Amino acid sequence: EHNRSIEKYFSSIGENASEIGRSKADIKKDFLHKLFYHLGRVPALTTDNDLYTALALTVRDRALRQFVRSTEQFAEKDARGVAYFSAEFLPGPHLGNNLLNLEIMEETRQALAELDLDLDHILEQEVEPGLGNGGLGRLASCYMNSMATLGIPAIGYGIRYEFGIFKQEIREGWQSEATDKWLHYGNPWEVMRPEISYEVKFGGRTEAGTSKEGKYFVEWHPESVIKGTAYDTPILGYQSNGIIMRLWKAEAVESFDFSIYNMGDYYRAVEKKLRSENITKVLYPNDENLSGKELRLKQQYFFVSCSLQDMIHLHLLQGRRLNEFHEKFSVQLNDTHPSIAVAELMRLLLDEHDMEWDDAWHITSHTFAYTNHTLLPEALEKWSISLLGRILPRHLELIYEINSRFLEELREKGLNGEQIARMSLIDDHGEQAVRMAHLATVGSYKVNGVSALHSRLLKTQVLNDFAKLWPEKFTNVTNGVAHRRFLALSNPRLASLITEKIGDQWLTDLTSFRELEKYAGDPAFQQQWRKVKLENKKELCKLLAERAGVEVDPAMLFDVQVKRIHEYKRQHLKVLHIIDLYLRIKDGKGEDIAASAFIFAGKAAPGYFMAKLIIRLITAVADLINNDEEVNRKLKVVFLPNFNVKQAQRVYPAADLSEQISMAGKEASGTGNMKFALNGALTIGTLDGANVEIMEEVGEENFFLFGQTTEEVQETKRKGYRPYEFYEENSNIRRVLDFLVSGALGEGDPELFRPLFNNLVQQDQYQLLKDFRSYCEKKEEVFKLWANESEWDRRSILNVARMGKFSSDRSIRDYCENIWNVEPVRLRD
Ligand code: CR1
């Protein structure tokens, strides 16, 4: 039953844009209203957080208007939509990005200035939602922005973790972890939807039966039930659309938990309630061994079940039939984290909506598409049969049934026993476990990798058997980045220099950067270009002094590696090279070395010893070099603690050199590589992940390529790699490695870095020593080029000019065409 007056009011908001105004006067008025009525503040007691919250609420009103308008128009067109299922989202600070997308940055700045307030200071107050580990979560958020910009009817589904990725502190050179209390001061961006909630069952047992009509059915008698409640955050696209990120929070179900207890058991009931809420308490840091982590499996199932129930609810609400579900929705599985969705949709269709197996399977296997984000064997998810059976007994039955039908199909096709065992959803080696990547692949209509190289390796190696069976199922979508956030917002100086030159159509079409090419050799433009970079570097210097206590000369070459700390990413390769330079300078042979600031940032998984030792190595080398008068005018080393989106936005614009030095074949794509190049850094990198395509675009002559190819890496391994030979035969390598265990680093304890030393000379799984010489030689080229300012600038300009491909707008168009079969909906404002 519609309320006509409300409806009339809503459409007036839509028609009359001034209803929620974009003018300075409107913003000022609304901001003061929020401060007074929403926060109830006496002027004398107003805190910075009040100012931030009042401004955020002012902007949220405008964001919600865009969302409501977009949703109405999507509904009007009855458009096919996308649900992006992701256990992680890393949106970064919302305020600045929303001001940019609403095109009210300047008006807001002026409105605040009239109140003697500084927008930048208010922007600084925002605590970002760290609901992801790194690249995968950030990618999901870049895609949200691009889907909104392009007018894709989309919704992002995930988990509202109370504590996001831990806060990293450096204590005596070591990483220490503190809880991330991002909700401590409230979260003005979300809208809680208490009426949008679903029940999710766990544990217990199943019971099969036959109905009066003779129909076989299964009932699940759970041990516990938990309620998921929706929290919506509007995510804006550029200039008009808004979509929502819907995150689920776990709560106790009143009836289930309380009614069965009598008063005497009240406290036990409260305890049970608290236990229910645990499910969405904390994000798991990746890279750790997650198998056996019961709570993690519960998180995955919890958010997937809420999301699918929500979609079915919306679908039926619109008067549609369930058997056309897959025609109305495509669900993108962001890695295997949400892949239990395959079994859950089957369960919902079979057990709750009375469907037959074949119909349910048709719908399910035409709904999902799966993106793989890693080939690292230790990161491929498996859940043991015993755990899965205990937490999700019905799903285990369904997985067995899916598997037995699938294996039967393989047998009919004539595959042999070995092939069948390899492809089975169940791994029989050691403790029986479900291979989630296999479940996702069998249950999806498309499977993609995240760069050309990675998609090829996915097809020829990890999922080779499946690619042979269903070649048309496999495709590639190379990652991209939200260039509006990572250039327009975070590098305003460069953005306006570019806009002055070529206009601002790049905001919606990054390929128009090509027009910059013709200015690459222009000395006047180069000088402006250089000046922008220098200003950005000066700002980063302030941050480095403040957060790391290191003074850096902005004239130095800023050589930067920021990303999660992991052996395959080889931060220690860069460190070995720094030690080599240090020893050269000490020998009085450092004339050719460019004055460089080596900047690192990134978190190590709390349980990953080697990664933490690498951080300790960086801080030890920093201490040694920064305090050595003989060296520190030439070299500085900085570890910037607690890398997150906010800091990233200050780092990329200030980098001269981007380090993308993983062992070839290990980095699925990388997205930092794109953000650096977009901001004018040159790249030193291996032929790994999207580096390959970046180099293709910018030209080999504008890229510092080094190291083995994927094939060469595999050949080295096949022939029996013996890193010790490099230690014995290459005096440089020996000198640097011996230095690690000489007692010169750390607290003078020669044993501190022994595990790293041993690892490198004995296994060196990521072939650092093999690539070391090639890396050092490339660095010599870097130093030489750095001495030639105008040539450096020319290449920097060319790099930016050729980044068009790496906008996430392009990635989303690829998803629409190759996978989703979804048309953008052109929206009226
Ligand atoms: C990959 O390691 C890639 C991102 C986004 C990461 C990185 O190379 O850029 O995904 N994978 O696609 C990951 O987090 C769980 O796997």
Q: Which CATH number characterizes residue 715's domain? A: 3.40.50.2000
| CA distance linking residue 454 with residue 376, whole number of Å | 11
CB atoms within 10 A of CB 829: 11
Residue 10 has pLDDT above 70, yes or no: no
pLDDT confidence of residue 829: 59
**What value, to the nearest 5°, has the Cα angle with vertex 230 and ends 19 and 342?**
125
Q: Is 373 a catalytic residue?
A: yes
**Alpha-carbon torsion, ordered 620, 622, 626, 628, to 10 deg:** 40
**Tell me: the pLDDT tens digits for 114-173?**
999 999 999 999 999 999 999 999 999 999 999 999 999 999 999 999 999 999 999 999
Mutate to test the pocket of ligand 1, among 479, 666, 669, 673 (most ligand atoms within 8 A of CB): 669
Q: Is 671 a catalytic residue?
A: yes
Coil vs helix vs strand at 175: strand
Give, using CA atoms, the residue closest to atom 11 of ligand 1. 373
**Biggest distance spanned by C-alpha atoms of the chain:** 92
3-state secondary structure string across 441-473: HHCEEEEEECCHHHHHHHHHHHCHHHHHHCHHH
pLDDT confidence of residue 72: 86
Q: Is residue 552 part of a domain?
A: yes
Residue 385 has pLDDT above 80, yes or no: yes
Q: Are residues 23 and 64 in the same domain?
A: yes
How far does the centroid of ligand 1 lie from the alpha carbon of residue 326, in Å? Answer: 27
| CA distance linking residue 62 with residue 22, whole number of Å | 9
CB atoms within 10 A of CB 590: 16
Q: For residue 117, what are the contacts with CB-CB under 8 A and spacing of at least 6?
A: 51
Q: Is residue 103 part of a domain?
A: no
| Best CA proximity match to 801, nearest among 793, 809, 789 | 793
Give the domain extent around 736: 483-806
Cα distances (Å, whole numbers) of residue 659 to 324, 572, 706: 48, 12, 11
What backbone torsions phi and psi does residue 405 show, to the nearest 5 degrees? -65, -40
| CA distance linking residue 324 with residue 313, whole number of Å | 14
Strands 174-178 and 167-171 come out as: antiparallel
**Tell me: the pLDDT tens digits for 619-628?**
999 999 999 9
| CA distance linking residue 821 with residue 537, whole number of Å | 44
**Tell me: the pLDDT tens digits for 289-303?**
776 699 999 999 999
Q: Quote the tokens at residue 806.
A: 């790496």
**Full strand arrangement of the beta sheet holding 635-639:** 635-639, 596-601, 557-562, 657-660, 682-685, 704-705
pLDDT confidence of residue 287: 64
Strands 444-449 and 368-371 come out as: parallel
Q: Quote the tokens at residue 628.
A: 């050595």
pLDDT confidence of residue 43: 81
Q: Is residue 828 part of a domain?
A: no
- DSSP one-letter code for 353: S
ipTM, two decimals, is 0.99
Cα distances (Å, whole numbers) of residue 537 to 52, 348, 598, 795: 27, 55, 13, 18
How far does the centroid of ligand 1 lie from the alpha carbon of residue 135, in Å? Answer: 5
How far does the centroid of ligand 1 lie from the alpha carbon of residue 563, in Å? Answer: 11
For residue 559, list its beta bridge partners.
598, 657
Q: For residue 709, what are the contacts with CB-CB under 8 A and spacing of at least 6?
A: 664, 687
| CA distance linking residue 493 with residue 504, whole number of Å | 14
Pocket of ligand 1 (CB under 6 A): 135-136, 139, 286, 335, 373-374, 379, 450, 479, 667-671, 689
Q: Is residue 422 part of a domain?
A: yes
Q: Are residues 567 and 657 in the same domain?
A: yes
Mutate to test the pocket of ligand 1, among 333, 372, 374 (most ligand atoms within 8 A of CB): 374
Q: Are residues 464 and 531 in the same domain?
A: no
Residue 264 has pLDDT above 70, yes or no: no
**Tell me: the pLDDT tens digits for 627-669?**
999 999 999 999 999 999 999 999 999 999 999 999 999 999 9
| CA distance linking residue 94 with residue 98, whole number of Å | 6
**Cα-to-chain-centroid distance, residue 367:** 23
Mutate to test the pocket of ligand 1, among 142, 373, 671 (most ligand atoms within 8 A of CB): 373
Q: Are residues 74 and 86 in the same domain?
A: no
Q: Is 675 a catalytic residue?
A: yes
Average pLDDT, the chain: 95
**Tell me: the pLDDT tens digits for 666-682?**
999 999 999 999 999 99
User: Considering only 98-107, 247-256, 387-396, 487-496, which range has the smallest mean pLDDT?
Assistant: 247-256
**Cα-to-chain-centroid distance, residue 703:** 25
Query: Would you report the helix, strand and coil content of the chain in percent, each value rounded to 5?
Result: 55, 15, 30
Q: Is residue 826 part of a domain?
A: no
Q: For residue 183, what are the contacts with CB-CB under 8 A and spacing of at least 6?
A: 162
Residue 257 has pLDDT above 80, yes or no: no
Q: Are residues 423 and 498 in the same domain?
A: no
Q: Is 666 a catalytic residue?
A: no
**Tell me: the pLDDT tens digits for 42-57?**
888 899 999 999 999 9
To the nearest whole percent, how much of the chain has pLDDT over 70? 96
Q: Quote the tokens at residue 26.
A: 């409107």
Q: Are residues 387 and 413 in the same domain?
A: yes
User: Considering only 9-18, 402-411, 412-421, which range has the smallest mean pLDDT?
Assistant: 9-18
Q: Are residues 226 and 332 in the same domain?
A: yes
| Best CA proximity match to 420, nearest among 431, 409, 432 | 409
Q: Are residues 8 and 84 in the same domain?
A: no
Count of structural domains, the chain: 3
Q: Quote the tokens at residue 300.
A: 């995955």
Cα distances (Å, whole numbers) of residue 227 to 277, 280, 302, 349: 9, 11, 9, 20
417 vs 290, higher pLDDT? 417
pLDDT confidence of residue 514: 98
Q: For residue 2, what are the contacts with CB-CB under 8 A and spacing of at least 6?
A: none
**Tell me: the pLDDT tens digits for 181-207?**
999 999 999 999 999 999 999 999 999
**Cα-to-chain-centroid distance, residue 92:** 10
Q: Is residue 827 part of a domain?
A: no
**Tell me: the pLDDT tens digits for 213-238?**
888 999 999 999 999 999 999 999 99
Closest ligand 1 atom number to CA of residue 138 = 5
| Best CA proximity match to 334, nearest among 122, 543, 154, 574 | 154
Q: Are residues 617 and 683 in the same domain?
A: yes
Q: Are residues 602 and 741 in the same domain?
A: yes
Locus of tokens 């549609």? 320
What backbone torsions phi and psi does residue 157 show, to the nearest 5 degrees? -110, 135
* 258-270: average pLDDT: 64
Q: Is residue 102 part of a domain?
A: no
* 439-450: average pLDDT: 98
pLDDT confidence of residue 766: 98
User: Considering only 32-46, 64-78, 84-98, 261-275, which range has the smallest mean pLDDT?
Assistant: 261-275
The one catalytic residue among 249, 373, 473, 616: 373
pLDDT category of residue 18 using cuts at 50, 70 and 90: very low
Closest ligand 1 atom number to CA of residue 335 = 15
**Tell me: the pLDDT tens digits for 347-375?**
999 999 999 999 999 999 999 999 999 99
Q: Indicate the residue type of 412.
A: E
Residue 259 has pLDDT above 80, yes or no: no
Q: Are residues 523 and 453 in the same domain?
A: no
Residue 1 has pLDDT above 60, yes or no: no
Give, using CA atoms, the residue closest to atom 9 of ligand 1. 670
Q: Are residues 321 and 392 in the same domain?
A: yes
Q: Is residue 307 part of a domain?
A: yes
E strand or H helix that includes residue 225: strand 224-236
pLDDT confidence of residue 493: 98
| CA distance linking residue 554 with residue 597, whole number of Å | 9
